[in-house]
């Protein structure tokens, strides 16, 4: 992997972490639906602006898979932000490990990418650790269930984006198209629920989060475009580590012993995938 892609992976990791941290407070104060709407709008906007410099034309195949990705992205965003309304950012965003394990499995089974035994052990550790984080004091934490389902959708989002990039190498336009469809999904849901009110500070934080997440998505697609799905996403897979660390520092999130074990197990799995990419 050349230096440009290593830098892109690190930058994508930092952008996703920043976006995850910024949506916590507005999600709790204004609610998940209006925050999802602002985040989706700012994310789509920054990607449309960037893609305009390269031209916005997109082939039919790329358009289909980008639109499908947008549906997954929009619903996944609503579900993950729903968990953020009541749960710690370290708990909720640790679930993002699932979204990186899914395309690794898909890459091995469907795309016949070579996955080593060490990588498979890492994948199993990620799922085991993420499942453990769902529990608080040995009680099932159902409030994290939307985040888990949302991250599963985000995992399949990377798969459909991978197919879109097979029809078009213009990753910025592909990202902008998917984000625009996601915005439409979130807008329709917000309109039906009549939940659009949001205070100015929450709107600002959500807007900044959307920009960071939009730029992070562009970085992720750049990595996928230039490498295998397994190799590219293994770099960004350290996201939960940073979210958990800064969540404890910034929001004073509390982590009990069982959750700490789950986080450690998931992080060990991510470390294995990152250190020994297939």
Give the domain extent around 129: 3-275
Q: Given a cut of 70, is residue 135 above it in pLDDT?
A: no
Q: What is the pTM of this model?
A: 0.85
Measure the CA–CA gap between 95 and 164, rounded to whole angstroms. Answer: 25
Measure the CA–CA gap between 162 and 175, rounded to whole angstroms. Answer: 11
> By mean pLDDT, which of 142-146, 204-208, 230-234, 247-251 is the weakest?
230-234
The 3-state DSSP composition of the chain as helix, strand, coil percent (nearest 5) reads: 80, 0, 20
Do residues 191 and 36 lie in contact, with contact meaning Cβ atoms separated by under 8 Å? no
Which pLDDT score is estimated for 1?
46
| pLDDT tens, position by position, 83-92 | 888 887 767 8
Structure tokens at 252: 């004073």
E-strand ranges in the chain read 135-136, 139-140
Highest mean pLDDT pick, 4-13, 41-50, 248-257: 41-50
> By mean pLDDT, which of 13-22, 93-102, 105-114, 206-215 is the weakest?
105-114
Q: Given a cut of 60, is residue 76 above it in pLDDT?
A: yes
Please tell me the total count of domains within the chain: 1
The mean predicted confidence, pLDDT, of the chain is 85
């Amino acid at each position: 992997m050349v230096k440009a892609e290593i830098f892109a992976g690190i930058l994508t990791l930092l952008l996703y972490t920043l976006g995850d941290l910024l949506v916590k407070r507005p999600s709790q104060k204004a609610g998940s639906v209006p925050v999802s709407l602002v985040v989706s709008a700012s994310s789509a906007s920054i990607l449309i602006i960037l893609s305009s410099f390269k031209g916005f034309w997109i082939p039919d195949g790329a358009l289909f898979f980008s639109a499908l990705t947008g549906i997954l992205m929009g619903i996944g965003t609503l579900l993950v932000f729903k968990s953020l309304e009541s749960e710690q950012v370290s708990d909720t965003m640790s679930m993002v490990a699932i979204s990186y394990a899914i395309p690794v499995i898909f890459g091995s089974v469907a795309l016949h990418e070579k996955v080593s035994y060490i990588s498979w052990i890492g994948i199993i550790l990620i799922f085991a650790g993420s499942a453990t984080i769902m529990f608080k004091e040995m009680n099932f934490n159902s409030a994290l269930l939307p985040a888990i389902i949302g991250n599963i959708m985000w995992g399949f989002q990377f798969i459909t984006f991978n197919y879109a990039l097979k029809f078009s190498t213009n990753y910025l336009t592909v990202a902008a198209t998917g984000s625009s469809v996601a915005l439409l999904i979130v807008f329709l849901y917000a309109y039906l629920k009549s939940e659009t009110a949001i205070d100015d500070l929450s709107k600002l934080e959500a807007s900044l989060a959307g920009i960071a997440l939009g730029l992070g998505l562009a970085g992720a697609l750049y990595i996928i475009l230039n490498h295998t799905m397994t190799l590219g996403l293994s770099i960004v897979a350290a996201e939960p580590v940073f979210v958990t660390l800064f969540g404890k520092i910034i929001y004073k999130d509390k982590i009990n012993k069982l959750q700490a074990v789950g986080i450690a197990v998931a992080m060990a799995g991510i470390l294995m995938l990152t250190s020994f990419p297939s």
